[in-house]
Structures are given as structure tokens and as C-alpha cells.
Structure 1
Amino acid sequence: MRNLRPITGVDLVARVRLTDLDTKEHPLKLYALINAESGSTPNNSEDALRSELQALGLSADIVPVGAGELNTAVQTAIASNPDALIVWGGDGSVACTLSASGPSGPPVLALPGGTMNLVHKRLHGEDMDWKKILASALSAPEPEPFSAGCVSEHLFFVAAMMGQVTALAESREAARHGQLLKAAQLAVNSDALTLDRRLRLESVHASGNQTFDAVAAAVVIGGGSAPRLEVAAIHPQSALDWMAIAVDALANGWRDADSIEIDETRTVLITDFDGQEFAATIDGETVTMPSGTIISLKRHAANVLRARPT
């Protein structure tokens, strides 16, 4: 587990308007990065992408990269001034690219190539067919700003989870593969069910702040047309209650689980009752946060490319 440190994205001078992608006066200049080490990119991903682009009458500079090469590859891609940057990989690959590109960089078209593909689902919905996403986005492009959560200048594009509940990652993975008995066993054996550590969440509102006490919490980037943070405070009353919440959330999703209070805000302050650092995951990355961490909404964190709504 590492300590959370700020990361700085590339702050480019604005050089291409988002509406430029709607013009037909010149062919799109595309740059594509493929993380072949992601969970679900095919072995022939480079040839497959080139073939699909050719079918659309397009071409791109296509660069396969390993996980350790991604940061440098993203910087090189942005420096080439593409009209759009295609990233085929998992959530980490997309988050890295969006953070580096920032609000003045090229719009990013994310193709699902990971295991969970949570950022991709936020962008494109539940259909994770990369060929359909590519064709629809490039045939009727809709570049637009994309919001993120911000923790010490570290951006996240899906969710941050705080507290010992982060130890449930292995349990969630087992449930995702239909191994519910194993998921429950892992939840029981993990430190996630302890009630000893408690957090306080304070959501900021113009009409007055809202405070919640919790054993664990989640801050999720809300969907819809108005960017917002959804704050979930999880407050079990006993280890048995914690177990029920864990199984309910695994089976039905955390929004429908009992003993969870939900609020919407643009800024939330999270403190540990004892003033200690606490465990967290940010878009699946394990970190530690200091007591007094502030999570805020960044309305225009990057530019993305997806299909224009019909």
C-alpha cells in the first residue's frame, strides 16, 4: 500500500476546439495506444484496430505499449497533436491518459480492454463491444468535457473507497465470477468487517453541511448531465450487520444495500476519528489517505470522445 502523492497532468495550450471534429474539411488525425497487457485486449489487437479503422476510411498511428511504458507513450501521443487519442486498455490505462491529457488536451476515445472496464461503462454504457464503440464514436463523434474526483490533485474517474472495506476487493472479484460462497468466506476472513475504525464524512452544501459517521465510505462520480459526487456512508451496527451489508452489496450493488446513507455534493471532507491515516482505493488503486482528506469534483478534468446521441 503506497501513500497518496499528487500527480501532475500535462497542461497544454488549447490548440484544437472540440467542434473541429465535426468538420469534413480534412481527415481526422488519430493516434492510438494499445495496452496489450490489459485483461481483454486480443493478441492481434494492433492488426484488428487497423483493420476496423480502414473499414471506416480512417488511419492512425498505432503504438502497442506495456504498462511500464504507458506514461511516456501518452506524453508522446499528446505531443503529436492528434485530433483524437484512442486508448485501448483497462481502467488504469484510460485514467492515466485522461489525467495526462487534461482539459486542454485532445479528446480521448476509450476502448474496453481491461477486466472491469468501469471508466468505459461510464462513457459508453453497458455494451462493451469495442468495434461498435469505435465505429459509432468515429462515425458520429461527440467530444465533450469529462468530470473527475480530485484528491490532492490525483484524479479518479469512477470511485474512491475509504476504510477497511477496501480489503473486500478480492471478495468482489470472486462474486463477479459467480463464486458467491468464496466471496462470503473472503469477506468474513478479511479485516473489512471490523468496527474499530470509524470515519466522519462532511458533505459541503450552500444550505449547510451534512455530516455522516461511518465505518467505510464510497465517493462515486455521478452519472447524468450534471456532474456531481455521490457520497455513500456505510455504518453497520455489528459484525453480523457488516456481513449482511457486504453480501447484499456484492449481490445487488452498494446503492441498494441496507445501512448505507447517500448524499450528493461537489466537496466532501473525510476524517478518521483517531486522526490516523486510513486505507483507501482510488479507481482500484490501493493508497493511504491522511485524516482530513478533501475530495472535490473537477467538472472539466479532460476531454472525451463518444458517439453523438441519436
Structure 2
Amino acid sequence: MESDNPIWLLTNSRSGSNTDQAIEMLESHCKDKGFAISRKIGFPDEDLPTREELVAEGIRCLAIFTGDGSLNAAIAKLQGWGGSVMVLPGGTMNLLSKRLHGPDADLETIIERHASGAVRAVRPLMARCEKGDALAGLLVGPGTSWASVREAMRDFDIPAMAGGTSEALSETTGGSMVRCSDPELGKREGYPLIEFTPSHRGMQLDAFHAEGAGELLAQSWALLRRSFRDGPHTRLGLVDRITLETCDGAPVEVLIDGEPATLSPKAEFAVAPCEVDLLATHHGF
């Protein structure tokens, strides 16, 4: 991208990789490769950009250097925009960045690929539910309670970590288990956590379990590190549409790209294409 075709940059100081040093490095890489950053937006201190603002300023590319949750919120606000989003790894897990650029592509590599033209605009499939769309992944069940423990760890809030860990352990073993009801997949007694991974083949479903002290410890550690597939799990299948329900009729708890939400006791999920162009540099999934 030439310097006479400016881009905007969105960052988030609370995201995992958004240190001052990382942002300075990002700006240096952009400058070296001919990208002109005409405006920097620091979310959440500043509002997320809207498509109307981008159109009014003639901006055709928005670079987003945040975690998956902020990426999700920003992309949702841009539905219908005619420009493109450059996703950069600015969080902890950076699952959407890995999906678009490959698991090993670092910040400098991604910017270099964009600058050389080794990029394609895509609209990847998402996992959609009544409260939003997940581009990176969606988690369902009482095991999502570990998210509050991870937040406390990020903020170095020791009391919150202790209280949250106790509550999360209780929820993982005794909370409202979730099961696949239409079509029926897996165990009727349900699971503490089901992970949805959207791809061009549909939604991959993996069910996680914690039966016995050993599995509970392994699963708890995996959930805490957000390395879900390191814990005991079972592949349930690939689907385009599915209904999940809690075994006891309680609301369904979910994490949509890492952000919590509560759904109806019987919740439907389906694939849907992203409604704005994302720039990809890898064959992805």
C-alpha cells in the first residue's frame, strides 16, 4: 500500500501484546514498508471506528492490532463497509490472526506480505448465535467460567483469582452441562464445555470432559491457559447448524471470541459468512 493511500490503526492497551514497545515496532514496520498511518485509535479510551467515519475520510484499510474480542467488536461495527481489515496479532491467543496468516506468522512477516501484495480479501465463515458472531472460536458451557480467572490473572488480582478458581472448579464439575440436541451428538448427560471452531468446512465441535481427579486437574489447567485441546476432549463432528441445550434448563453460557454472553436454554448455532472483507496471507481454514 502506497503512502498516498493511508490506513487507520486500531489498538487496545488491555490486549496481551499491546505494549508501547510493540506498538512502536508496529509503526516502524509499517513505515519501512510504505504504509502511512494517518490516524491511531486507542480502544477502549476511544470509540471503535464506524464505516461512516472510514468512508468520509476515504480510508480503504483498517489495521487492527488487538486481541480476538476487540477484533470481533470492531469488525461487527464495520458490516457493509467497502474497505478491508488487516488483522494483526495484538492479543494473547491471536486465533483470528493465525486463521488468516498461519500459525507461525509474526507481525513483521504479516506486514511484509501485505506490502508485497501477497494478500487476498476473504469473507471467512463464522459461528453465529443469537448474541453475536465468532470469527476465532466459540465456547459453550459452565467451563466458560474460567474466563474470569484469566481476567484476574491479567490484572494480577490475587483475591479475584482465588475466588474465581474456586467458583470455576465448582462450575466445571457441577454446573449446567450442555449437550447437542439437534442433531444429537455425543453424550446425553452433556459436557462442561463444547468448543466451536469455524472454518470453510463448517463448525468443528470438540467436547471437553473432566471425569475424575486427574481429568479435572488436566482440564482445569488447559482451560486456565486457554489451551483447550490440551485437556481431555472428544471430537463430535463438523456441522453447518446445530442446537445445544443445557441438561437442566438453565441459560446457556458462552464465550464469543473470548467475550461472555448468555443465551436461551436451547440455543441455535449456524455458520455465516463475515460481512466485511478481511485480508488473508495464508490458505487458512
TM (norm. structure 2) is 0.77
Contact 1:198/1:272 (8 A) holds in 2: yes
Match of residue 160 from structure 1:
138
2:259 partner amino acid: E
Unaligned runs of 5+ in 2: 154-160
Give the superposition deviation at 1:147.
Answer: 2.0
Instruction: Give yes or no for the alignment of 1:31 onto 2:8.
Output: yes
2:195 partner amino acid: V
CA distance in structure 2 between the partners assigned to 1:130 and 1:94 by the alignment: 16
Match of 1:56 among 12, 33, 40: 33
CA distance in structure 2 between the partners assigned to 1:78 and 1:51 by the alignment: 26
Q: In the superposition, relative to structure 1, how do residues 128 and 261 fare at CA in structure 2: closer, same or farther (>3 Å)? A: closer
- After superposition, what is the alpha-carbon deviation per residue over 1:218-250, rounded to whole angstroms, capped at 9, x for unaligned? 232344xx2411122335555664445445777
Q: In the superposition, relative to structure 1, how do residues 70 and 89 fare at CA in structure 2: closer, same or farther (>3 Å)? A: farther
CA distance in structure 1 between the partners assigned to 2:93 and 2:217 by the alignment: 24
Give the superposition deviation at 1:253.
Answer: 4.9
Contact 1:145/1:303 (8 A) holds in 2: yes
Match of residue 108 from structure 1:
85
- After superposition, what is the alpha-carbon deviation per residue over 1:123-180, rounded to whole angstroms, capped at 9, x for unaligned? 2222353122111123122111122111115111122222221123366787xxxxxx
Instruction: Give yes or no for the alignment of 1:260 onto 2:234.
Output: yes
Match of 1:307 among 276, 281, 285: 281
TM (norm. structure 1) is 0.72
Give the superposition deviation at 1:199.
Answer: 2.0
2:178 partner amino acid: L
Instruction: Give yes or no for the alignment of 1:87 onto 2:64.
Output: yes
Instruction: Give yes or no for the alignment of 1:131 onto 2:108.
Output: yes
Contact 1:168/1:192 (8 A) holds in 2: no
Q: In the superposition, relative to structure 1, how do residues 217 and 38 fare at CA in structure 2: closer, same or farther (>3 Å)? A: closer
Contact 2:176/2:250 (8 A) holds in 1: no
Match of residue 169 from structure 2:
190
Contact 1:88/1:111 (8 A) holds in 2: yes
Number of equivalences: 272
Give the superposition deviation at 1:265.
Answer: 0.3
Instruction: Give yes or no for the alignment of 1:296 onto 2:242.
Output: no
Where 1:41 maps in the other structure, the secondary structure is coil
Q: In the superposition, relative to structure 1, how do residues 293 and 252 fare at CA in structure 2: closer, same or farther (>3 Å)? A: closer
Where 1:201 maps in the other structure, the secondary structure is strand
Identity %: 21
CA distance in structure 2 between the partners assigned to 1:231 and 1:258 by the alignment: 14
Where 2:8 maps in the other structure, the secondary structure is strand
Q: In the superposition, relative to structure 1, how do residues 193 and 97 fare at CA in structure 2: closer, same or farther (>3 Å)? A: closer
Where 2:17 maps in the other structure, the secondary structure is coil
CA distance in structure 2 between the partners assigned to 1:128 and 1:78 by the alignment: 30
Unaligned runs of 5+ in 1: 1-20, 175-181
Task: Output aligned runs, 1:271-290, within 5 Å.
Answer: 271-290=245-264
Give the superposition deviation at 1:109.
Answer: 0.5
Give the superposition deviation at 1:104.
Answer: 4.6
Where 2:270 maps in the other structure, the secondary structure is strand
Match of 1:219 among 181, 195, 198: 195
Contact 1:150/1:295 (8 A) holds in 2: yes
Calculate the aligned-residue CA RMSD, in Å. Answer: 3.6
Where 2:109 maps in the other structure, the secondary structure is helix
- After superposition, what is the alpha-carbon deviation per residue over 1:246-292, rounded to whole angstroms, capped at 9, x for unaligned? 45777995446545242110111111222221332222112222111
